[in-house]
A and B are shown apart, each in its own frame.
Chain A
Amino acid sequence: MRHFSIIALLALGALGASMQPALSQEPIKIGVMFPLTGPLASQGVPERDAIKQAFDEVHDVVAGRKIELIYEDSAAKPDIGLTKTKALVERDNVNLLLSELVSSVGAAMAPYVAEHKIPWISTVALASLTRAQKSPYIFRFVPSSYQYALVAANSGKKLGWKKVYFIGWNAPPARESYQVVKKIFGAENVVDAMFPNVGTTDYAPYLTKMDAQPADGIFAAMWGADAPRIVEQWAEYGLNKKMPIFGIASFTSEELLTDMPPQAVGVRSAYTYCGTLDTPENKKFVDEFKAQHNNAMPGSYMYMGYMAAKMVIAALKDINGKVEDKDAFIDALSKVHVKGPMGEASFDEHHGMVANFYELTVEKGADGHLQNHCGQLIPQVRDPYAMFP
């Protein structure tokens, strides 16, 4: 059955190709660099795969031109990432970049990309890409730290929280998130702000401190393996009965839920992706991803990689594949509106992401696994430039 449909698609593709003589043109080369080795490979590899999935849907052909994805590994190190970016641009002559998730690599790439005038659709959540390091060639399809923290802080406020704790990585995204929480709740209402290092294994000192002086809730800004770890210890210390956690950004992202303890049920967050949302676009995305990844759910990173690729495809269609005209491509990309798994998305005037957010609560799914319950939709969230310049 599956084979037949593939053959049918191939036949259709061949038919389409025969009608479009433009296919004889040179392929559009897209540089796709992510951390494919090292501790962040667990996010980098599936995000790269999600980008590939978006191009597979159009059979690697846009406006009659073949798409060629060229992969590189940044190893999550800025100097390696920069060297690899140079390789993609100067050796492989890519037309555009669709790359990266590590903020230090992104910060190192930005000046180079701007200088060489290579359109870069960044999946790095670096606020500076649409602020201090802004360039007409840089687009950011992932919310900035101010953008996602503002949504989280407002949602926490709506829950009736007055006094809060903030705990987050000793790194820029968490520090910036803290600025937002401080602004929304007032500095006097943040009982304490704590910044453990990335990869901290023991949160006991922080959790006992919170236990001693209770507040309405905890804002947590840490990701990767650290999010499940702090939830586990928070439950171990019995804090789950005293103070709820509101996770900032991808704290309860689907790929992290598999490592969370059962007590994680009820942990909240508010972010760009909700795996259980019932739309045909999301069903298509999830089913295809699961089929290729051993039944694993896609998370927010994969969603944003997939959507960033869809934005590129839409813009390429608008300019009829003439990617060599960079100004036209940039213009098309900044105007493009794409309906994806979570609804419509676009870029703002500074090339930051505009997309729907959902309030999420961890719940137990029918199959016993943890999943996100899609709560209130927060439509078309924009980067708050005026509030956080």
Chain B
Amino acid sequence: MNTEPRQRNNAACGLAAILILGMLALPYFLSSYYLGLAIEMMIFALFAMSLDLLVGYAGMASLGHAAYFGVAAYTTGLLALRLGWNVWLALPAGVLMAALTAALFGLLALRTRGSYFLMITLALSQVAWGIAFGWRTLTGGDDGLPDVPRPALNLPLHLSWSLAGSTAFYYFVLVAITVATLLLIRIVISPFGFALRGIRESEARMLALGYNVWRYKFVAFVLAAVFAGFAGCLYVYYNRFVSPDYLHVARSAEVLLMVILGGAGTLIGPAVGAAVIVLLQNLISAYTERWLLILGIVYVFVALFAPNGLVGVFLEYRASRIKRHVKRLNS
């Protein structure tokens, strides 16, 4: 009885190990273009996972998550470009700015629930977009900020490791995303993570149990923004520029679709969703101008036939197999 979860845990660890080894070896197989796609997939996977903390675990569907991604990207981009800050300073500053923005927006947005929460997060992110678009002297307006330098990792003892090459940058992102993902897993399986799931199921019951629901939601909101901001910082270093599109509502919608496509409420789901969408966007568009149509059809199919997302399909299949197995044992 007791050994079964442990076995499954072992299997998961083994899978993770294989995945990481595979990712480590990737630069030896892929050309720089596909390596770039892999970097983009990892960054958007983290972005989608951060939103899943809100959507999947705390049950708060936000349509303004790109605001934190973009605010962090602008902060890091500006500090690196204008003040020449190195990655050790510019990156945490970006993440901090995302957290502060989320704390401010959270005070307003968390007074609402459901579709009202969706609308107020949308409105707030449009405010951030408006500032990026309109404050031309600081943000460059709709032309954005080109020429953000790729960082060099200045380590103690005068060691410096340039991340200008795509392979070096790939490993940098791989390490960053792995650490962030482990932190997210830790959060999700902590008592805090279970409290969030409780809030998702029934806020009233959690209140009755003595939980300060508002405070849990607030912390989740800020934490989600921190991880989104981290993804945004990595993205600005990858693309080497920022534009208001980074915090546009279309990007918020895109990441929400990644979460839903992959399967909300699991961490692996949004990562799969992000990978699928980045791949579709980049591979299909090489063959047809009508790639948006194909993407739309995929969304419709997932909404109709896999309402719990791609990972949800797999989980349901496994659950049904276990059920059948149990039935057979009983008979």
Contact = CB atoms under 8 A, between A and B. Distances in A.
B260 to A, nearest CB: 21
Nearest to A114: B147
Interface stretch (A75-83, A296-304, A327-335, A366-374): A75-83
A82 B241 contact: yes
A79 B143 contact: no
A86 B36 contact: yes
B239 A107 contact: no
A177 to B, nearest CB: 15
B32 interface: yes
B240 interface: yes
A171 B33 contact: no
Interface in B222-269: 239-241, 243, 245-246
A111 B146 CA distance: 7
A77 B33 contact: no
A112 B240 contact: yes
B31 A91 contact: yes
A79 B142 contact: no
Nearest to A41: B289
Nearest to B147: A111
B144 A78 contact: yes
A110 interface: yes
Contacts of B141: 170-172
B contact residues, range: 20 to 34
B10 interface: no
Given A78-B241, A111-B240, A104 B289 contact: no
A110 B144 CA distance: 13
A351 interface: no
Looking at B36, B241, B246, B292, the one whose CB has the most chain A CB atoms below 10 A away is B241
Interface string A97-116: 00000011001101110000
Given A78-B245, A79-B239, A172 B286 contact: no
Given A77-B245, A90-B33, A103 B289 contact: no
Contacts, number: 69
B285 interface: yes
A73 interface: yes
Interface in B28-46: 31-34, 36, 40
Contacts of A376: none
Contact of B144 (A87, A104, A133): A104
Interface in A45-87: 72-73, 77-80, 82-84, 86-87
A364 B146 CA distance: 44
Contacts of B239: 79, 82, 108
Contacts of B292: 37
Contacts of B281: 80
Contact of A91 (B33, B143, B146): B33
A103 B140 CA distance: 12
B42 to A, nearest CB: 15
Interface string A103-135: 110011011100000000000000000000100
B282 interface: yes
A12 B122 CA distance: 62
A36 interface: yes
A87 B282 contact: yes
Contacts of B143: 103-104, 107, 171-172
A82 B145 CA distance: 13
Nearest to B283: A87
B146 A79 contact: no
Given A78-B245, A79-B245, A87-B282, A133 B146 contact: yes
Interface of B: 31-34, 36, 40, 141-144, 146-147, 239-241, 243, 245-246, 281-282, 285-286, 289, 291-292
26 contacts: A36-B289, A37-B289, A72-B285, A72-B286, A73-B285, A73-B289, A79-B246, A80-B281, A82-B239, A82-B241, A83-B282, A84-B285, A86-B36, A87-B33, A90-B32, A90-B33, A90-B36, A91-B31, A103-B143, A104-B143, A104-B243, A107-B143, A107-B146, A108-B239, A108-B241, A171-B143
